[in-house]
Structure 1
């Protein structure tokens, strides 16, 4: 088994076990490996996916918006949305339309944010 296979195996195990994944991804980012940034963003996205928000967080409001968009047309979403929330409400509507679980909202937000940071 060569060193590259060992790193790939460690990366896949790291996706299952968060502390190991966080440590391995930080080491890979420090060493300058390009896929280390992807692994770091993915691990933090998984952490965001497993987050259960408190009732006064904005994420709870987004989850409620997601649940309220069942059988809603896009024109209704457009009319009901305030200008500040038009983009996020459109994304929530698309997630609901394509039957993507609401927990993927924070996953994609964190993943994209850390990937392009």
Structure 2
């Protein structure tokens, strides 16, 4: 049986709070971050396909209708990314990632090494 990105992120979100080892929390966070990025890229590609052929004005109107400020001077790929991010943030996968990241932050664990 193949595990989906969403299912794996949900599994990590369930397992992370029970871990008392900072190294394990960092491993959970690292894997979750990779899955988050992969999932977002898939959604961004699908969003690009959905809006392909839209005029710049129509794309701006779509982004504005999603509640995101933008204007015609912005690059089309940037506008697609904004739309995709707005949609992605509401998915169970992204919400699970947020739980993992927040749990790790409460424990002082992050992906950016201290210098």
Per the shorter chain, which TM-score range? Answer: 0.3 to 0.5
TM-score w.r.t. length of structure 2: 0.38
* Structure of higher RCO (CA pairs closer than 8 Å, 6+ residues apart): 2
Higher helix proportion: 1
TM, length-normalised to structure 1:
0.38
